[in-house]
Amino acid sequence: MKRVFRLLAAVIVTSGVTGCTSISYYAQSLEGHVQIMAARRNVGKLIRDPSTPEALRAKLTSASTIRRFATDELALPDNSSYRSYVDVGRDAVTYAVFAAPQFSLTPITWCFPVFGCVPYRGYFSRKSAAESAVGLQRQGLDVYVSGVTAYSTLGWSSDPLLSTMLRQGDTYLASLVFHELAHQKIYVNNDSAFNEAFAVAVEITGVRKWLRATGNRAGLRRYEANRKRSADFLGLISKTWDELGQVYGSPRASEQMATAKAATIDRLRTRYRQMRDKRWAAYRGYDAWFDAPINNAKLAATAVYGEQVPAFLRLFDLCSGDYPRFYASVRRIAALPEPSRAQALRTAAACN
C-alpha cells in the first residue's frame, strides 16, 4: 500500500510539560528535527554543483519545478519550505505510533503545544517507536506503527525535501509536496480527520492539474487507476468499520467479541483478495497491508486519511476548481465548531 502517514512534528518544548516520559518525548522530537534542519542543503546550489550525482540532480530539478507549480498554480504558500534537501540516510524519516482500545475504533489521541491533539505519537527513532508500542500493548491497546516519508511543521520552520520523498517518481513527489504545503495553508487544531482530508483533496486535485499541465497523459491514466484502487480499498475499510462498530456495540462477553472481531477481519481479507483478483487484474500493491496484522489502530489510522475526502473534492468542484475560492470556503467551514464543521462540509451546496 502506498499510503504514507504524514507526521506533524512536536518540536516545541514548552514550560508546563511534566513527567520524565513527556520530557524525554519532547527532547527526542526536538533533537531529531534539529539534526535534520542542520543538514539542509540549498536545492539550487545542489543542482548547479557539478559533483552532485546526475540521478539526484534530475530529481531535485523536478522537485524545483513542482515547488513552483504549487505556488503559481495551486496558490499554496510561497515560502522557503521544500527549497532545501536532506539525505536522512534511512527508509523513513520518522515513525508514527497509533493506538486504539481492543474493542473500539476511536483512536487514542495525544495533545501537543501549537499542533493540538492528534491520533498518533511520532518518533525519529525506530527503536523508540517500538518501545512506545510495547508499552501501549501492555495496557491492552491495539497498536500500529508506520514509517513516515514526510512531515510538516506547519510553516514554523523551513521544511526540507527529504531523501525519503524522492524514492519514487515525480507524481509521488508532487503528491507529497502539495499535501504538506496544504497543511501550511489551513490547519485546524484537534481535528485530524478534517486536516488530512483537506490536504488529500489538495494533493489529488493538484496532481491531476500538474499532470495535465505537463502533458503527461500516461502518468495521468496511471494516477487515476491508482486513485480508483485507493477508493476501492477505502470502501472495504468502511464496510469493515461498520461491521466492527456493530460488534463493539453489542452486549457480548469479551471472548465472544474477540472472536467476532477476528472473524470480521478475516472477512476483510477475503473481500480484498476477491476484489484484487476480479477488479484489479491481480494488482498486488496492497498485499503487504493485508498480509500484516490488522487491528483497530491500523483501521483507525487509515480512516483518518480518507473519511472526508469526497466532501472536500465536491466542495472543490462547487468552487469551479478555483483554489483561492476553495481555500476561502474551507476556512469559513474550519471556523465553525467541530460538529457544525463536519455537517457544513457534508451538506455544502455552494462555494461561499
- Give the pLDDT of residue 308: 87
Distance CA 260, CA 254 (A): 10
Q: Write out the DSSP string of 36-70.
A: HHHT-EEHHHHHH-TTS-HHHHHHHHHHHHHHHHH
- Give the pLDDT of residue 114: 65
- Give the pLDDT of residue 50: 96
- Give the pLDDT of residue 5: 40
Extents of the domains making up the chain: 7-168
- Give the pLDDT of residue 199: 94
pLDDT tens, per residue, the chain with 352 residues: 333 344 444 343 333 333 345 777 878 888 888 899 999 999 999 999 999 999 999 999 999 999 999 999 999 999 999 999 999 999 999 999 999 999 999 999 888 776 778 888 989 999 999 999 999 999 999 999 999 998 888 878 889 999 999 999 999 999 999 999 999 999 998 888 899 999 999 999 999 999 999 999 999 999 999 999 999 999 999 999 999 999 999 999 999 999 999 999 999 999 999 999 999 987 999 999 999 999 999 999 887 767 789 999 999 999 999 999 999 999 999 999 988 898 999 898 888 7
**260 with 60: CB under 8 angstroms?**
no
- Give the pLDDT of residue 82: 96
Q: 0.85 cut: is pTM over it? A: yes
Strands 41-42 and 142-148: unpaired
Distance CA 329, CA 321 (A): 12
